[in-house]
Every structure is written in structure tokens, then in C-alpha cells.
Amino acid sequence: MLSTRTGSFPIGFRRGDADWQKNLDSLLRWATSNGLGVIDVGADADVIGSKIVAVGLRIGSADLRDYNGLLSPDKGRRAQAIANNTQYIRSAAAVGVRNFFCLMLPEKPDLSRRENFAIMIETLAELAPTLERAGACMVVEGWPGPGALCCTPESFRAMFKQVPSPAIAMNYDPSHLIRMGIDPIRFLEEFVGRVRHVHGKDTEILSENLYEYGCEQPATFAEPFFCGAWHWRYTIPGHGQMRWIKAFSILRKHGYAGAVSVELEDASYTGSAENEQAGILAGARYLESC
């Protein structure tokens, strides 16, 4: 199975929703035949997890359910989302899931950030004991979507301080940091002790477009990139700015025991199953060389 040259971390991919990935048996055959040893799945790990483990693949992460409900200002709706995820965590952990992926996206992004942050802290404090008993973690990714609460050093630092449970952890995805102008290596050095999963995704910063359009507002005439904006775009590892060998060296030094999963969001590898498969494998083989 493919693994990184630095750290020997197993390499896999995040399952997408393209037609060629919908047939799980076919997808698992493709993955194993190409040396991919890890797969990240959606919120159905309790149903499909046993089949994945049976063919020798590791589940890198499984999505939690109803992100927005977990951060709802409606206490009843939030309680129901917490109850549903509590049961899901128990069931999925029983088939080997240890990392539960989540984005901190509030149901009401028009509330103040402090109000939504307080709601998030209440939810995490309630879920942490369930995760601890299951021997699992919530791996929070810093995608800077609408109203997202944990994307920056400031917000992650505050979250970990207010909910110190080791079950509240991080999915390290440098592509989001790069697009925001945050040094992904310095970020990793600060938070490496909380990293339990890594996404193999990169970002290219287009300096000419940055000059032409800036970074504060949309362009007037130009169209944005697919999986990007005007001055940046997501790429497979090796096609962007990320220093992967340095990152893997930091992870190795601190005893990281997780995997690296290619998340394909690259305009150069779209349009067909063949293109998407080529993108995942190109990213995985680049990571293998790092």
C-alpha cells in the first residue's frame, strides 16, 4: 500500500459523489488495485464500514451527521442532532471508525460569531464524553465557508482551550490555510498535537490574478475557477504551494499515527471518471515521494 516517504503515513482518498464512486464494491476494488490503503467516507460508516474493513482498507474519517443542527440556536433541534450523532458515533466506532469529520458551520450564520461560538462550545462539551468512551475523536476541518467558526489560529486555539478534551481534534487541510494567507507550516507546528487526520489537498496562488483582482471582492468580468476563486484554486498535492516534506517531518517528530487522504477538488482533473481517477492517483503518488 502507498505510504509517504517521510513518516510512512498510509495514503488514501476521500470518497466523492461522482457516479463512478457510488458503487462501493467497484470503488474498493479500484482503490486496492491501485495501492490506496485508506478511504474517507460520508455519514454512512455504520452501514458500509464493515465492508471497507473486510477488504483491508482503513477508514481515515467518517462524516458526522447534520453539521448545522449541531450548531443550531434552537435547543431542541440541537439536542436531537447531538442524540443522533451520539448513536452514530457508537455504531460507527464499533466497526473501526476513530475519526469523525466535521465542519463548524452554524445553522444561523447571521448571528454574531461570539453567539455561534458559544453554541459550538456547548455542543462539543456534550459530545466529547461519547467520543472519549468510543476511543474516537471529532476531527474539525477549517474550511472557511459561510459563518464557519474554526478556520484560523485564533478560533482553533479558543476551541481547544474551552473544550480541552483530547477527543476534540483536527483534520489538517493546508489548502484552506493557504487560500486565507495563513502559513500552513507555522499553523501545524502550533497545533500538531491535535492533528488526527490529514487531507492531501493543495492550493495554487495565482500572483497575476491577485494583482488584477485583489482578494477582497469578486471580479467584475472574469469567472472564478472551479473549486477556487479568482486569485487561487485548489489543486492536488504537488501542484500548489504546500511544503509537504516539511509537514510530514513535523508530524513524524510528534508521533502522528494517522493517514493522509487525497481530497480531489482540482479543476485540472474533472469531467470524467478517468480524469478524476488520474487526479487522485497523481496526488497520491506525489505524496508517496515526499
pLDDT mean over 245-249: 98
pLDDT tens sequence across 203-237:
999 999 999 999 999 999 999 999 999 999 999 99
Average pLDDT in the 156-163 region?
A: 98
- Could you tell me if residue 134 is inside a domain? yes
CA atoms within 13 Å, Cβ hemisphere of 158: 12
Q: Domain containing 89 — which CATH number? A: 3.20.20.150
Q: Let me know if residue 49 belongs to a domain.
A: yes
| Reported pTM | 0.96
Max CA pair span of the chain: 54
DSSP state of 64: P
Angle ∠(70,73,76) on CA atoms, nearest 5: 70
DSSP secondary structure, 188-245, as one string: HHHHGGGEEEEEE-EEEE-HHHHHHH-SSS--SSSPPPTTB-SSEEEE-TTSSS--HH
Q: How confident is the model at residue 65 (pLDDT cuts 50, 70, 90)?
A: very high
Q: Is residue 215 part of a domain?
A: no
Has residue 254 been placed in a domain? no
Q: Is residue 191 part of a domain?
A: no
Q: What's the CA gap between 219 and 262, in Å, rounded?
A: 30
- Work out the mean pLDDT of the chain and round it to a whole number: 97
Q: Does any domain span residue 177?
A: no
Residue 247 lies in a domain: no
Within a domain: residue 159? yes
Confidence of residue 112 (pLDDT cuts 50, 70, 90): very high
Q: What pLDDT, in 10s, does the model give residues 73-94?
A: 999 999 999 999 999 999 999 9
The pLDDT > 90 percentage for the chain reads 99
Find the domain containing 123 and state its range.
38-172
Residues 22-56 have pLDDT tens digits of 999 999 999 999 999 999 999 999 999 999 999 99
In the chain, how many domains are there? 1
